[in-house]
Amino acid sequence: MTSTQGFHHIEMNVQNLRKTKGFYEWLLPELGFSLFQEWEKGFSYKIESSYLVFVQTEELYKDIPFHRKRSGLNHLAFWAKSRAQIEHLRVQLKKKNISFLYEDKFPFAGGENHYALFFEDPDRLKIEIVAPR
């Protein structure tokens, strides 16, 4: 039975679809998502009844890049299975030369009871991975 709670899907336009796909195609499966759809100008990953869609921004709209501090989406936060998974992802991100946000406060940048890892995707969208308590 399909859940009717939570979100159905979130769609994001991206500056460089190839770069974005390279970033998310390893991260999302680590977090339990599966490739759901793929077409010339986009792709999506699904978990249970919800999915994330990434679409190439049309040339006409690429002149103003995304910035999470402007009005609109600030960040995406995903559940990790455990603190160990966050440590595993941290190692993988370092190998991919992806820099961290708030590294000096890791793993408690979100507060003393909030074990999380923060970094940015290729469009500078903040990604947060949160461990269960």
Provide the pLDDT for residue 71. 80
Provide the pLDDT for residue 67. 84
How many secondary structure helices (H) and strands (E) does the chain include?
A: 2, 7
Out of 20-24, 34-38, 62-66, 93-97, least confident range? 62-66
Please give the model's pTM, rounded to 2 decimal places. Answer: 0.90
Provide the pLDDT for residue 2. 56
- The average pLDDT across 8-23 equals 95
Task: Please state, for a pLDDT cut of 70, what percent of the chain lies above it.
Answer: 97
Say yes or no to pLDDT of 70 above 80: yes
Residues paired with residue 34 on neighbouring β-strands, in sequence order: 46
CA dist list (Å): 14 to 34, 103, 107: 20, 25, 28
Specify the 3-state DSSP secondary structure of 18.
helix
